Chain A
C-alpha cells in the first residue's frame, strides 16, 4: 500500500520536473517551425499587409533553382571531407596525447583553443591570412615559391579553404571526445593485443578505433547536423561567394529571406533544410542501431 502511494506521488511530480524545459523548448522552437511552415505557402515580403497564398509553388521553385542544388552539393562535399579529416586528426591527437610526450597541455590547448574562439572573431584573421597581404604569402615569398595566395577569391579553391577553416575550428571537439573515450578503454585489452604481437598501428586500428565507435557515431551525427547548419564561416568570410561557390543552405536562406525579403521562398527552403537535418540525424542513429 505504502509503495503504491509513493509511486503515485512521483507520477505527478515527475511531469512537473520536465514541464518547464518542455514548455520552453516547444514554445520557442515548435512555434518557429509552425510559423515557418505557414510562411512557406505564402508570397510575402514581410511589410506588405497583403499575403498571397501560393500553395506549394515555393517548394516547386526550389527544385528548379540551381543555387539551391549548388548549396546542397557544397554541403555534401563539406560534410564528407571535414568529417574524415577532422575526426582522423582528432583521433590521432588523442592517441598521441595518451602517450607520454613532452608539453601535453600546450598541445591540448593549441588544438582546443580554436573551438572556443568565435568564428566572428576569427573571420578578419582568415580573410587576411588567405590574402596576398597575409602571412602565408610572406612565407611563400621567402621560399621563392612563386605562388600567389588569393584562394578565397577563386571559385575553384574558396570552398576548400572554408573546409580547412572548419577543420581548424572543430578538431578540438573531436579530439576531446576521442580523448575521453580512450581513457575508458580497458588497459588489459591493449596489453593482450601487444602480447599477441600487434604493433602500435595495428593496436590503434584493430582495438582502439573499434572501442571508440560510439564516439565516432556521435561525431557523425553532430557532423551531419553541423554541415546542414553551416552559416557563420561562409557568411563571414566569403558571404557565399565568389559566384555562389561557397553557398550553403543557411547562407542562401539568409540571402533570400533577410537580404531580399522573399520570406515565403526562404521559409520553404528552411522547411526543406529542417527535413534534411531530421533525416540525417535519423540515418546516423539507424546506422548506430543496425551495427549493434
Chain B
C-alpha cells in the first residue's frame, strides 16, 4: 500500500514494522524464558511425567472434532438453503439465527447446568460439544451464506437442466466451490473450540475428561507455586496450535478474503 522508492525510506519502514512487532513477541518470549527458569528443561520432563498432558490433549481433540463436524454440516446445508433456495419466511429464520450471534456464553451456564444434570449429560463430552457448536453456528452460517450467494445461479440452472436433484446440486456444484470458505470455517471453529474455557470448566468435572485450557489450573494445584512448570505446560499447549495454524495459514487467508468481507 506504500509506494517507496529510496533505500533510506525502505529501511525506515522495515524498522517501524520491527518496532511494532516486538510487543507481540514479548509475551511469547516471556512464556518460553519463564518455562526454562529454575531447573531448565527438566521442567518439561516434570510436566510430561505427570502423564496427564496426553489425556487433556485427547479430550480437546475429541471435543474440537465433534464441534467441527456439527458446525461444518449445519453451516454448509443452511448456508446453501439461505443463499439459493426458496423458503417461506426465509428472512425471519435468518434473523432468528443472527440474533443468537450476540449471545454471551455466560448466559447459558445456569440453564445448561440444570438441564444437563436432568438429562444425565453432565460430565460427558456432549455437554461441551452441543453448546459450543450452537454458539459458533450463527457466525459460520453467515459466512457460508455470504459465500454461497456469490456463486452464479447459471451454474445451478445448468445442473438442473441436466436433471440434477437439489441434493446432487449441493454435492457436485456447491460443495466443491465452497472449499475456501469451508476451510476458514473449519479453522475458526477449531480455534474457538480448542480455546474454550468456561464450558469445560463447568461441565466436565472429572480430571480424565478435562481439556487443555484447564491444564494451567491443574498444574497450579500440582506444583503449587512453581511458575516455571506451569509455563512449561503453557508452552506444550501452545505448540500444536501454532503448528496447525502455520500449516493452514494460506487456506485460512484465502477463505477470509473470500467470505468474511461481503
Q: Are A18 and B195 in contact (CB under 8 A)?
A: no
24 contacts between A and B (CB under 8 A): A14-B86, A18-B81, A18-B82, A20-B74, A24-B133, A25-B134, A26-B97, A28-B134, A29-B103, A101-B13, A113-B245, A118-B197, A118-B212, A120-B214, A124-B227, A125-B27, A135-B33, A179-B253, A184-B261, A204-B1, A232-B197, A257-B110, A274-B104, A274-B107
Q: CA separation between A203 and B242, bound complex, in Å? A: 35
Q: How far apart are the CA atoms of A25 and B252 in the complex, in Å?
A: 25
A121 engages B212 (CB within 8 Å): yes
* Interface residues in chain A, defined as those with a beta carbon under 8 Å from any beta carbon in chain B: 6-7, 9-11, 13-15, 17-18, 20-22, 24-33, 35-36, 39, 46, 89, 92-102, 107-126, 128-129, 133-136, 168, 171, 176-177, 179-184, 190, 194, 200, 203-204, 208, 214-215, 218, 225, 228-229, 231-232, 236, 249-250, 253-254, 257-258, 263, 266-267, 270, 273-274, 277-278, 280-281
CB pair A176–B103 under 8 Å, yes or no, is: no
Q: Size range of the interface on B?
A: 35 or more
Distance in angstroms between the alpha carbons of A164 and B112 in the assembled complex: 33
Tell yes or no: B177 within 8 A of A by CB: no
B197 touches A120 (CB 8 A): yes
- The prevalent SS among residues of A at the interface is helix
Q: Is B31 an interface residue (CB 8 A)?
A: yes
Given known pairs A29-B134, A119-B197, A125-B30, the reply for A180 and B87 (CB within 8 Å) is: no
Q: How far is the CA of A28 from the CA of B134 in the complex (A)?
A: 7
- Whether B241 is near chain A, meaning CB under 8 Å from some CB there, is yes
Q: Is the interface of B mostly helix, strand, loop or mixed?
A: helix
Name the residue of chain A whose CB is nearest to the CB of B103. A29
Query: How far does the Cβ of B9 sit from chain A's closest Cβ, in whole Å?
Result: 9
Q: Across the interface, which residues of A come within 8 angstroms of B101, CB to CB?
A: 225, 281
Q: Whole-angstrom distance between the alpha carbons of A97 and B102 in the complex? A: 32
Instruction: State in angstroms the CA–CA spacing of A26 and B131 once bound together.
Output: 11
B172 to nearest A CB, angstroms?
16
Q: Is the CB of A121 within 8 A of B216?
A: yes
Whether the Cβ atoms of B246 and A109 lie closer than 8 Å is: yes
Known pairs A125-B27, A176-B256; A253 contacts B1 (CB<8 A): no
